[in-house]
Structure 1
């Protein structure tokens, strides 16, 4: 039987965002000319077979700014290809493909989870038009399509057909399986705007699977999902990949475990070029050998293949859980970047309560979204969530998707309408007048000014046209777009922060003739921060900006809700260092002749000169971190709260860690053992 043509073929193609002989319009906007148009994946050759003799399931792996999303877009047909004939889709022209899928735009679907692609594949961006607290309200609008409508494609007015497919619509058996395995049964009648971040991710993956494309490109599909959901999603994807319905291509960060059923890897360099490509075992072994040779001084470290980004690469996601060690963990001889972040080993002195929840229960009609439990405390039965956060405490909040973590954040930040009616005190005061107290109730603006907040919800709603500087300065403003109330000290803090993270925030940094190191006292030109827009920088840079916006003002409470998702381990560790020490510490290359590789943490030039403007967390601040990945929990976190699965009636669980969470799987297992 003759072999069938590949579904995607790229033969010695080079890609560009704009034609190399043109000047993109964005390069002259706001008076700057720094918009680069480098060649992407020069002379790339890649074949995705339609019916291979043995299964081929691909994953694209790389650190921040390596071009994972860009490569997925290239596979779908985006970006200019030179020569134009280098990219083709031969199988789509054969009789084995339904007529509706002859177009690559339909046959090859992409699902991403940045705010610009909230609609997913063929879906609606219904959630992006709502204001931040709309998801917590009970009133239904005519545009509040249910999750069931979203999954079946019925999200338009005056539709004259059911579902998307020309040939029979949505497959009922596939619908049943996808809904069950992604744990969406109890959510089908809810408006899409009501879904939590994790639930929304599952919904977009489900929507894409139900369109039955020939190829499905999933951009970091496990990011932001709780361990039980990941355990259910991976087998579902494996079954579909095994039957090529659809063929799957995943992307991930080096520290993310690769599903066991993935057979082929593309590892990307930091300059949007392919580093290594081939069978999974072959790629992992080549990278392992490279890390070993660099550490033993046999080869020089390639600037495009930083060793620190490879340390956690190679762990495997199996049906039994995570297995294996990272290729750089087995032979690690020195700490990698971030390994020296100061850790609070002793209990901090704590101060007065900043948050007091005395029996919170959030209800929407008959549905209880948070606090659906009773427990005995001090000999009496108490209902709902009882939780106190004091100055100096460092909390981790955990629990399955939909358990109420984001609802808790909305209560803290007063985005939730029920904040006014629940037994909550913030900064020692109620949201409602208290007779005889002599105190005025807290206003929404009082609370917002004292809480720094980074979350996927903030990311979804922040205006894309704000400059990089204005995003940071909005920490001193009442709203994203109102005028910031800045003084000289605040401006100095913003400048110091921009200078420390210029390498990660300035898209034109690599083209600059002069550079500065993090923590430098050099008054470098920061005009780029007023030229580049939030919507024009990478997803990881956007997440970095929102993290910095949350901490730069030194608020009383810092809330980091999945703040590090979308970052590679190197950028994540830089954020952890900045959270702990501000600009007092920085990275420097290992001393020559020390036998060490990677960067070490040293006092910054600003610290040596006594000009530090931004310091790390203080005893006067409280930290609340929400994450589904233990490595994304700051080492200083000690207190923890784990919410139960929704509607199980189990109470919330509390505990205290005896050390950093990210460095001990035992501590992580203890937290999730009763979830």
Structure 2
């Protein structure tokens, strides 16, 4: 087995929760009970405007309360790819959607009785989702504009973490209808337990990803709920932060107040304290449920029987099973090397490596990943950049060796044709670096930074570069862009926005731009058109002349989260800018869609995935093995959008190895904030997909056999 980290973190030497425990339920009643319930978005007997398929037919689920001494507690995780129904499952636990028969779903602990709190479902069962919004999302305030989070001046709307925890996030608030106030003892306890003491005065818009999760969990806990439903809490977190959040959740679950249910993606590591899994197959159906090891064994059997891809959309694709089984322990992440991964390899020994990889080394060599000449035009030059707010430095608080001499701040150059990965713990300054490059950060004006060979302010004999010149040459997809992109735009308007100066600006479109937009809409219609009759991924033949009028009537805000991420990815790459910035751009996509985007990044319309039939154990033909082939559009010489060129630079941020494009070779890893250690630089000798040890090398973690 391979570990992501080899040493026991210091924070685990002492209990995170201390000796304190929240009170247990003395009634012994389950918080949630579902017995053979089938659910619908609207009542099946009502007049239907659109489809109303059953959700989780004959579902069985019980969230138990405190167990008797000697009885093993149960901790649940709901696992499944994007759009499989994880959020819907959690909504059902909270009381949403119609249950048939109605009596099949109940909340025994919440029913009136002696000594019970009598809370409503919405107060007793809290839902916290992390898949849709940067920062605190709809549960907290948002900055007035994109660069507001980087300014030192505090606006009236820059509410602090303490304001957020106390619910004071409105300029003219009404008194709470029930008059409920948070007592000081509970507030102090939650702040300490979730390690927010040093953050209470910080504006919520300045929080890092991991800090935001802790703040949102703390806000939910202040309502003293009976159950806490956490939707994809590990998405976008770096390995060190994972090692702090998981034991924190375990201590709460162990205390039984609140009871915790997690939803996880297949690629997320499963905490070792989780005892039971529900694996969702698609179309809101449960494929397997039961004890964790039993479910993982069922996954192994499923792979061994060669049931890879079915025409029935309720079946599971092999892509979703590739990373299932990773375990999050106190010491780090255990890869499933001898479990799922080897099983898949055994199943596909007779075929090419394409069935378990995005593409082979030979195929990715065609993307321009050959050795880049040492001398090329510099697109970004940082010569001692240091970002600080008064006495607090958030980037460049170190000395770095440059040409044999120690220099203060960050020294970094990005040249044409380079493919960079930017890594580091949450809060280390990765997004701050990108804000300097995009010139969203006000301090860009005063720092020793050149963009496209020019500084922001005029220099002797040279004009400064304007914000519009910079953004016209950069394609950018990030959680911040996701948060600020107007939901009222159509899918086509979002892609057209790549050719505009602002989110609401009028795009400058010529015939070539319109052709590229239509090409992207056709290529990704299966992922973006809600009304498309979708065959299994990769098997549908593309019609190069198909209409794209559906994009004029499909609202971007009405798409699922993963589809919104696809739209923003296309917006970043469509105009083939000098610099493409992908900041957590693939987070929230299932791996099949993610791999398709990564292939498009490298090859554009020239390459596509093909699925060749394989014979199952019963002799039937199944669409199973995946390979990368020349597209029909390329054969017809109708390619409108190509992949990365040697004149473009790529900057990518992600904490998930599978989300790093295979073409990335250069990397920078920022130190944890306020440590004073310098940033580390390196160059990969191959893709991260080919050798997991390269991932450990980037993070400075010990290599395990």
The question of a shared fold, defined as TM-score above 0.5 by the shorter chain, is answered with: yes
Tell me if the contact between 1:294 and 1:300 (Cα under 8 Å) persists in the aligned partners. no
Q: Name the structure 2 match of 1:355.
A: 380
Seen in structure 2, the aligned counterparts of structure 1 residues 18 and 349 have a Cα distance that, compared at 3 Å, is farther
Gaps of 5+ in 2: 1-24, 616-620
Seen in structure 2, the aligned counterparts of structure 1 residues 103 and 167 have a Cα distance that, compared at 3 Å, is farther
Which of 493, 500, 510 is 1:477 aligned to?
A: 500
| Cα offset, 1:431, TM superposition | 1.0
Q: Name the structure 2 match of 1:336.
A: 355
Q: Name the structure 1 match of 2:144.
A: 130
CA root-mean-square deviation:
3.0
Secondary structure, aligned partner of 2:93: helix
Which of 126, 142, 165 is 1:151 aligned to?
A: 165
Which of 78, 92, 103 is 1:85 aligned to?
A: 103
How far apart, in 2, do the equivalents of 1:173 and 1:214 lie? 17
Secondary structure, aligned partner of 1:401: coil
Q: How does 1:222-241 map to 2 (within 5 A)?
A: 222-241=234-253
Q: Name the structure 2 match of 1:567.
A: 589
Secondary structure, aligned partner of 1:63: coil
Seen in structure 2, the aligned counterparts of structure 1 residues 516 and 376 have a Cα distance that, compared at 3 Å, is closer
Q: How does 1:250-265 map to 2 (within 5 A)?
A: 250-265=262-277
Seen in structure 2, the aligned counterparts of structure 1 residues 452 and 23 have a Cα distance that, compared at 3 Å, is farther
Which of 485, 488, 493 is 1:465 aligned to?
A: 488
How far apart, in 2, do the equivalents of 1:160 and 1:212 lie? 20
Tell me if the contact between 2:400 and 2:410 (Cα under 8 Å) persists in the aligned partners. no
Q: How does 1:279-318 map to 2 (within 5 A)?
A: 279-294=291-306, 304-318=315-329
| Cα offset, 1:325, TM superposition | 1.3
Task: Say which is worse superposed, 74-83 or 332-341, in terms of deviation.
Answer: 332-341
Q: Name the structure 1 match of 2:22.
A: none
Seen in structure 2, the aligned counterparts of structure 1 residues 423 and 300 have a Cα distance that, compared at 3 Å, is closer
How far apart, in 1, do the equivalents of 2:402 and 2:537 lie? 58
Secondary structure, aligned partner of 1:386: strand
Seen in structure 2, the aligned counterparts of structure 1 residues 458 and 65 have a Cα distance that, compared at 3 Å, is same
Q: Name the structure 1 match of 2:331.
A: 320
How far apart, in 2, do the equivalents of 1:509 and 1:565 lie? 23
| Cα offset, 1:378, TM superposition | 3.0
**Residue 500 of structure 2 corresponds to residue 495 of structure 1:** no
| Cα offset, 1:167, TM superposition | 6.5
Secondary structure, aligned partner of 2:514: helix
Q: Name the structure 2 match of 1:109.
A: 126
| Cα offset, 1:584, TM superposition | 0.8
Per-residue CA deviations over 1:240-264 (Å, capped at 9, x if unaligned) read: 1122121111111111111111111
| Cα offset, 1:231, TM superposition | 0.3
Q: How does 1:650-669 map to 2 (within 5 A)?
A: 650-669=677-696
Tell me if the contact between 1:638 and 1:656 (Cα under 8 Å) persists in the aligned partners. yes
Seen in structure 2, the aligned counterparts of structure 1 residues 95 and 117 have a Cα distance that, compared at 3 Å, is farther
Q: Name the structure 1 match of 2:370.
A: 346
| Cα offset, 1:16, TM superposition | 2.7
**Residue 59 of structure 2 corresponds to residue 44 of structure 1:** yes
Per-residue CA deviations over 1:100-130 (Å, capped at 9, x if unaligned) read: x61110111111123469646xx84212x52
Secondary structure, aligned partner of 1:458: helix
How far apart, in 2, do the equivalents of 1:658 and 1:2 lie? 59
Gaps of 5+ in 1: 28-34
| Cα offset, 1:165, TM superposition | 5.7
Q: Name the structure 1 match of 2:414.
A: 389
How far apart, in 2, do the equivalents of 1:204 and 1:520 lie? 43
How far apart, in 2, do the equivalents of 1:246 and 1:461 lie? 33
Tell me if the contact between 2:35 and 2:59 (Cα under 8 Å) persists in the aligned partners. yes
Task: Say which is worse superposed, 191-200 or 399-408, in terms of deviation.
Answer: 191-200
How far apart, in 1, do the equivalents of 2:88 and 2:202 lie? 33
Tell me if the contact between 1:358 and 1:387 (Cα under 8 Å) persists in the aligned partners. yes
| Cα offset, 1:133, TM superposition | 0.5
